[in-house]
Amino acid sequence: MIDTSVLKFDDKGLIPAIACDAETNEVLMLGYMNEEALRLTVQTKRLTFWSRSRQKLWVKGEQSGHTADVKWIRVDCDGDALLVGVQLHGAMCHLCYRSCFHRELVDGKWQVCAERLADPDEVYGR
C-alpha cells in the first residue's frame, strides 16, 4: 500500500512525474501518473505512466525495449509533483535521444543539442 495522502492529483487524477537519472539527476522526461501507474511503478520497479493521448497505462520500454528501472521516488514540498530516479537502458525519448529535453533555445531558435542513440523508425517499426 502506498501513502497517497500527501499527493495532490489534478482533477483528472494525474500528477506530473519527472524521470531523471538516479545517479546524475539529469532530467530525462516529464510524464504523468495516476494512482494505478504509481502503484505499478512501485510494485514492478519499472517506470509506468498514464498516457494522456492514448488514455491508457504504458510501461517505459514496452515497445522500444528501452527500459527504465526505478531506483527511488520523491515528492516535492507541495505534494503536486513526483521525481523518479531511474537507471536508463537505452533512450528515454521516443525520438531515440537519451533525454526528451534534447533541444536548446539558441538565439531564439530551438537547436538539437544531443546525439540520437538509435533510428526511431527501426526501434518502433514505422
Q: Is 3 a member of any domain?
A: no
Residue 8 is assigned to a structural domain of this protein:
no
User: Per-residue pLDDT tens for 51-104?
Assistant: 999 999 999 999 999 999 999 999 999 999 999 999 999 999 999 999 999 999
103 grid coordinates: 533541444
In a domain, 7, yes or no: no
Q: List, in order, residues 6 or more apart from 118 with CB less than 8 Å away.
A: 90, 91, 96
Model pTM score: 0.93
pLDDT at 29 over 80: yes
**Those residues with Cβ within 8 angstroms of residue 9's Cβ, 6 or more apart along the chain or in another chain:** 15, 34, 35
CATH number of the domain bearing residue 19: 3.10.20.810
